[in-house]
Amino acid sequence: MSGQPEFLPMTGEEADRLGIDRFDVILISGDAYVDHPSFGTAIVGRALWNAGYSVGVIAQPDWRSDADLRRLGEPRLFFSISAGNVDSLVNAFTPNLKRRSSDVYSPGGRLLRPDRATLVYTDRVHALFPETPIVLGGIEASLRRFAHYDYWSDSVRQSILADAPADLLVFGMGERQVVTIADRLAAGERTLTDIPGTACRIDRKTWRGMDPTGYVVLPDYAEVKSDRYAYARAFALHYNEQDPFRGRPAAQPHPKTVVIQNPPAIPLSGPELDRVYELPYTRRAHPSYAEPVPALEPVRFSVVSHRGCFGACSFCALTHHQGRIIQSRSADSIVREVERMAKMPEFTGIVQDIGGPTANMYGIHCGRWETAGTCPDRRCIDCPALDRSHADQLRLLRRLLDIPGVRRVFIASGIRYDLIGPEDEEYLSRICADHVSGHLKVAPEHVSARVTACMGKPPRAVFDAFRERFEVLQAGKKKRQYLVPYLISGHPGCRMEDMVELAEYVRDTGLYTEQVQDFTPTPMSISTTIYHTGLDPFTLEEVYVPKGREKQIQRALMHYRDPANYALVREGLRATGREDLIGSAWKCLVPARGKRRSP
Sign of the Cα pseudo-torsion (143, 149, 153, 155, in order)? positive
Decide if pLDDT at 114 tops 50. yes
Contacts of 76 (CB under 8 A, 6+ apart): 22, 23, 24
pLDDT at residue number 259: 98
- pLDDT at res. 534: 98
Q: What single letter denotes the amino acid at residue 496?
A: M
Backbone angles phi, psi at 455, to 5 degrees: -80, -15
Q: Are 295 and 104 in contact (CB under 8 A)?
A: yes
Between CA 113 and CA 90 the distance in angstroms is: 12
Instruction: Enumerate the H helices of 363-517 as residue ranges.
Output: 391-401, 425-434, 449-455, 460-473, 496-509
Tell whether pTM > 0.85: yes
Fold designation for 301-437: Transcription Regulator spoIIAA (3.30.750)
Beta partners for residue 35, in sequence order: 284
Q: Give 597's pLDDT tier (boundaries 50, 70, 90).
A: very low
For residue 87, which amino acid is it? D
Q: At residue 300, does pLDDT exceed 50?
A: yes
Check residue 501 and give its pLDDT: 97
Statement: residue 599 has pLDDT above 70: no
Q: Is the dihedral of CA 302, 303, 307, 309 positive or negative?
A: negative
Annotated domain spans of the chain? 12-261, 301-437, 439-599
Residue 535: band (very low, low, confident or very high) from pLDDT cuts 50, 70, 90: very high
Q: Would you state the pLDDT for residue 427?
A: 94
| DSSP string across 533-574 | HSB-TTT--B-----HHHHHHHHHHHTTTSGGGHHHHHHHHH
Does 424 have pLDDT greater than 50? yes
Q: What pLDDT, in 10s, does the model give residues 541-559? A: 999 999 999 999 999 999 9
Average pLDDT, the chain: 95
Q: Per-residue pLDDT for 434 more than 60?
A: yes
Between the alpha carbon of residue 170 and those of residues 26, 130, 262, the distances in Å are 15, 20, 10
Q: Any idea which of 79-83, 160-164, 212-216 has the lowest mean pLDDT?
A: 212-216
Share of the chain above pLDDT 90, in %: 88
Topology agreement, domain 12-261 and domain 301-437: no
What is the b/e burial string over 59-69, where b = at least 16 CB atoms within 10 angstroms of the residue's CB? bbbebeeeebb
Average pLDDT over residues 425-445: 91
CATH of domain 439-599: 3.30.750.200
% of the chain beyond a pLDDT of 70: 99
Q: What is the pLDDT of residue 476?
A: 83
| Overall CATH class of domain 12-261 | alpha beta
Q: What is the pLDDT of residue 320?
A: 87
